[in-house]
Amino acid sequence: MKKIIGLDIKYIFIGVIGMLVLVFVGVTINRQILDRWQPDQDIIGTWSGSGETRKFGELEKINVVITIDKSGSVKGVVGDALLEDCVIKLNRNDFERFINVKNDYIIKGGHLSGLINRDDDVAYRDITIPFDIQDDTIGGSLFHVEGITYPEPILLHLVLDKTGD
C-alpha cells in the first residue's frame, strides 16, 4: 500500500472522511441552535442612519430606518422604498467569529417595495442585510438577492444608530 508521510494512505483517507463527518454534524447542530435564536433587548428597537451607494450614478447617501421587534420581524424604510416581510437571524457561531467569516446577524427573507430614489428603476427587490453591532452601532451592507446569482450590493457602509426602543 502507498504511504504518505509514513502513513498508509487508507488511514489518511479514513481520517479525512471522519473529519468531514464531524464538521457536517457540527454545522447541522449549530444551524439548529442559530435558527432558535430570538433577538435580545439590545437589538430590539428602531435604528436609523444611512448607507452609501453608486448604484444610481454619483456617490450618494441613502437614509435608512429599520425597526426590529421581539419576535424577530423587521420592517423599515430604505430611501423611498419600504422594507417588508424581513426577519433577523443570528448568522454565525463563536468559531465562525474567531476565524472571521460572515457577520454576527443577518436580516433576510423579505424585500424592498418601491423605488429607493428618483433614479432607481427597480420597484421590487429581495434583499439581505448582513451586519455586526459594535458600540451600539449597526455596520453592514444591503444586498439585492436574486436566484442563485451572487448578491448585488445596493448600499455599502450602512451605519445605523439605535434611536428608539
Per-residue pLDDT at 101 = 81
Per-residue pLDDT at 131 = 96
Per-residue pLDDT at 31 = 67
Identity of residue 75? K
Number of domains in the chain: 2
Tell me, yes or no, whether 22 and 93 share the same domain: no
Residue 79, Ramachandran bin (φ over 0: left; ψ between -120 and 50: alpha; else beta): left
Per-residue pLDDT at 10 = 81
Tell me, yes or no, whether 149 and 105 share the same domain: yes
Tell me, yes or no, whether 31 and 55 share the same domain: no
Residue holding cell 463563536? 94
Tell me, yes or no, whether 62 and 83 share the same domain: yes
**Helix/strand/coil for 25:** helix
When pLDDT is averaged across residues 54-72 and rounded to a whole number, the result is: 91
Whether 139 shows a pLDDT value over 80: the answer reads yes
Domain that holds residue 121: 45-164
99 located within any domain: yes
Residue 65 or residue 96, greater confidence: 65
Most confident of 68-82, 98-112, 142-156: 68-82
When pLDDT is averaged across residues 110-117 and rounded to a whole number, the result is: 95
67 located within any domain: yes
Predicted model pTM = 0.79
Per-residue pLDDT at 107 = 97
- List the beta bridge partners of residue 63: 50
Residue 162 or residue 18, greater confidence: 162
Q: Which has the closest alpha carbon to 154: 142, 164, 162?
A: 142
Tell me, yes or no, whether 31 and 110 share the same domain: no
Tell me, yes or no, whether 30 and 102 share the same domain: no
83 located within any domain: yes
Question: What's the gap between Cα 47 and its chain centre?
Answer: 16
Tell me, yes or no, whether 49 and 31 share the same domain: no
Per-residue pLDDT at 114 = 96
Tell me, yes or no, whether 93 and 25 share the same domain: no
User: Alpha-carbon distance 19 to 160, whole Å?
Assistant: 40
40 located within any domain: no
56 pLDDT band, cuts 50/70/90, is: confident
Which parts of the chain are beta strand (E)?
Answer: 3-4, 7-8, 45-53, 60-68, 73-78, 81-90, 105-113, 124-134, 137-144, 152-164
147 located within any domain: yes
Q: Which residues contact 71 (CB under 8 A, 6 or more apart)?
A: 38
Q: Which of 35-39, 92-96, 102-106, 135-139 has the lowest mean pLDDT?
A: 92-96
Tell me, yes or no, whether 86 and 132 share the same domain: yes
Tell me, yes or no, whether 87 and 151 share the same domain: yes
34 pLDDT band, cuts 50/70/90, is: low
User: Alpha-carbon distance 59 to 12, whole Å?
Assistant: 53
